[in-house]
Amino acid sequence: MHTIQSNDALLVIDVQNDFCPGGALAVTGGDEIVPRINSLARRFPHVILTQDWHPAGHISFASAHTGTQPYQSIAAPYGTQTLWPDHCVQNTHGAQFHPALDIPHAELILRKGFRAGIDSYSAFLENDHVTPTGLAGYLRERGLTRLFLCGLAYDFCVRFSAIDGTALDFECLVVEDATRAVNLSGSVESADQALAEAGVQRILRAKLLSDY
């Protein structure tokens, strides 16, 4: 048991105020996972946080387009883009990590979605699926090869991070009970299926703490 190894990292996705109850793009139960993530993080030698970090007027905001509503999709130059309420605007309270997130030893905070004209769900590649964020290079240079993913939201940023990470040759496992979903129509089922097809294992926190 407890064979969390020196080449393992916990990747904590977007545990930010706007994705928690009371936030602009609140995920049900988003705050409930914070204590779980804190205790998981204590077991990992390496922890990396991601932070959704949009400029005002970002392409993923419904408010940046005329005649659109949040949660509908548009054709962006790089493909279909779901539109969201304004969220995680750079340097706002909503973009800050949840105040109870307590991971002093986190060694990297990777910001994503900071360019006005392209969104980035994945921690590895922007939504054109080709522009790298630099995370793969960081992990390779640091010799971190196995990633346990948790955070928000299961059906968007956790999903795409795990799938891209797998395609980039990292072993990715999703700690399912340390995530919560936005849950648009069909998004959870579609994430479950995509993760299964990519060979991403979903595990429970208790299993991680006892087996790995």
Identify what 126 binds: ligand VGL, Zn ion, none; CB under 5 to 8 Å per kind.
none
Q: At a CB cut-off of 8 Å and minimum separation 6, what does 154 contact?
A: 174, 176, 179, 180, 181, 182, 188, 191
Active-site choice (20, 88, 150, 157)? 157
The yes or no reply on residue 152 touching ligand VGL (CB under 6 A) is: yes
Pick from 4, 11, 49, 52: which binds ligand VGL (CB under 6 A)? Answer: 52
Residue 207 annotated in active site: no
Query: Which residue's CB is nearer to Zn ion, number 52 or number 176?
Result: 52
For residue 196, the one-letter residue type is A
Rounded CA gap, 157 and 79, in Å? 17
DSSP, res 94: G
Which residue type occupies 183?
N
Candidate list 112, 119, 155, 164, residue with the active-site label = 112
Residue 112 annotated to the active site: yes
164 binds Zn ion per the rule CB under 5 A: no
Residue with tokens 């630099």: 134
Query: Binding segment for ligand VGL among 38-46, 63-71, 126-134, 151-159 (CB under 6 A)?
Result: 151-159
Using rule CB under 6 A, residue 18 touches ligand VGL: no
Yes or no: say if 47 and 9 are a contact pair by the CB < 8 Å rule: yes
* β-bridge mates for residue 86, sequence order: none
Tell me which of 84, 97, 148, 170 binds ligand VGL, using CB under 6 A.
84
Active centre residues (catalytic): 14, 112, 157
